[in-house]
Amino acid sequence: MLTNLKAQPADKILALMAMYRDDPRPTKIDLGVGVYKNAEGVTPVMRAVKTAERRLVEEQTTKSYVALAGDPAFSAAMTDLLLADSVDRARIAAIATPGGTGAVRQAFELIKGASPTARVWVSNPTWPNHVSILNHLQIETVKYRYFDTETRGVDFDGMIEDLNAATPGDVVLLHGCCHNPTGANLNLTQWQSVIDLLNEKGLIPMIDIAYQGFGDGLEEDAAATRLVASSVPECLIAASCSKNFGVYRERTGMLMAISENADNTAVTQGNLNHLNRQNYSFPPDHGARVVTTILTDDALRADWAAELEETRLSMLNLREQLASELQRLSGSDRFGFLAQHRGMFSQLGTTPDMVERLRAEHGIYMVSDSRLNIAGLNAVTVPILAKAIVETGI
Ligand code: LMR
């Protein structure tokens, strides 16, 4: 049986992690996988996470099963964080999932179960694993224009033109903030136009939000998600705690499904529970409990928000440093977009050949689509990267 298996293509982000690990050059720089690193190159455990974990070790009395949907207190705390008062709670069904990827996978399965012929529209480009999971589930995927390789901003006219070809019942996958991989985002006026189009054409939005707090702030980064969720009859939201709580390996995420009216919520919730049961039974609890502990304790929450804000500001600062160093070395403003982008990533908009040259000649690792992880930089490596970019002729 196993001899029938065909080799699977490697995930390009994870393959890069392995290549970096195996590179013996001491000067190598990792701008690949989306993991926050501080100025010392360390991905720290956040202070509030450590405190919450200590508290759990002291106070937790059982590790028995919780519920198929996870702890209701986690769903409630995450719903408050993401949606505040924008949507009637009675319309929301939610499950805890293993990370944001788990939420994305369960959302796609829900779509397939509810509407087997629905197509899913994804931005071009999008996080490669979106497309990979859709292919795995044999869901038809259509790309809409998103990134303008000239301006390195959003090709909004192209996006709207493409989405006009969607048919009622199709799903449109949108990044709630901090677009991955490009770093280019819609403004709220553009979001409103997208919402008008969704409603006009009967399309269902699915929002993937994995970087709340990494762009313009916790509230600001949730604004588009809240606007969409409060303006459409149905909406799916896949949220990740990996980055903003730094609990990557704990696999902590949540899928929300908002129904048109409260009468439908129980059936939707039952379907979400069923999906968890079929795929892995109970979702992981530790990370979710840590997040709930933080979000429901005023002092811990304030400390977490402060540390997240420091993280956000350090990334913004690196963006500005890199843009100005490139301006200085190249004598042109063509890299100004780096300071305009938000979140962990920016897409340089260069070719895979140039990216390969940066790796081979300078030991600089970025994803072949020219996505770079801003948080992988520090004050020492910014000038090295800028010099390499200019020398390579990007
Ligand atoms: C990324 O885009 O680098 C992260 O979301 C990590 C991953 O799983 O790909």
Q: pLDDT digits over 5-37, tens only? A: 999 988 889 899 999 999 999 999 999 999 999
Dist. CA 227–CA 203, nearest whole Å: 16
> Cα(267) to centroid of ligand 1, in Å?
32
CATH class of 65-296: alpha beta
Residue whose CA lies nearest to ligand 1 atom number 2: 34
> Cα(129) to centroid of ligand 1, in Å?
8
Dist. CA 26–CA 207, nearest whole Å: 40
Instruction: Taking residues 159-166, report their average pLDDT.
Output: 98
Which ligand 1 atom sits nearest the alpha carbon of residue 127?
Answer: 2
Cβ–ligand 1 distance for 102 under 6 Å, the answer no
Cβ–ligand 1 distance for 181 under 6 Å, the answer no
Mean confidence (pLDDT) of the chain: 97
Maximum pairwise Cα distance, the chain: 62
Is the pLDDT at 209 greater than 90? The verdict is yes
pLDDT of residue 10: 87
Instruction: Taking residues 110-127, report their average pLDDT.
Output: 98
Dist. CA 264–CA 257, nearest whole Å: 10
Cβ–ligand 1 distance for 13 under 6 Å, the answer yes
Dist. CA 71–CA 284, nearest whole Å: 10
Q: How far is CA 269 from CA 70, 84, 113, 257, 276, in A?
A: 12, 20, 14, 8, 11
Which ligand 1 atom sits nearest the alpha carbon of residue 210?
Answer: 5
Dist. CA 393–CA 342, nearest whole Å: 25
Q: Which residue reads 């005023």 in tokens? A: 298
Cβ–ligand 1 distance for 248 under 6 Å, the answer no
Instruction: Taking residues 204-208, report their average pLDDT.
Output: 99
How many whole angstroms from its chain centre is CA 87? Answer: 22
pLDDT tens per residue across span 331-388 = 999 999 999 999 999 999 999 999 999 999 999 999 999 999 999 999 999 999 999 9
End-to-end CA distance of the chain: 48
- Residues marked as catalytic: 127, 208, 210, 243
Q: Which residue reads 């000649």 in tokens? A: 361
Q: pLDDT band for position 41 (50/70/90)?
A: confident
Which ligand 1 atom sits nearest the alpha carbon of residue 14?
Answer: 9
Q: How far is CA 318 from CA 54, 259, 284, 300, 379, in A?
A: 33, 41, 34, 27, 8
CATH class of 10-44+301-392: alpha beta
Would you say the pTM of this structure is higher than 0.85? yes
Q: Which residue reads 């048109």 in tokens? A: 260
Is the pLDDT at 40 greater than 90? The verdict is no
Nearest-10 Cα torsion for 360, 366, 369, 370:
-90
> Cα(46) to centroid of ligand 1, in Å?
19
* Domain coordinates in residue numbering, the chain: 10-44+301-392, 65-296
Dig out the tokens for 13 from the structure: 């982000």
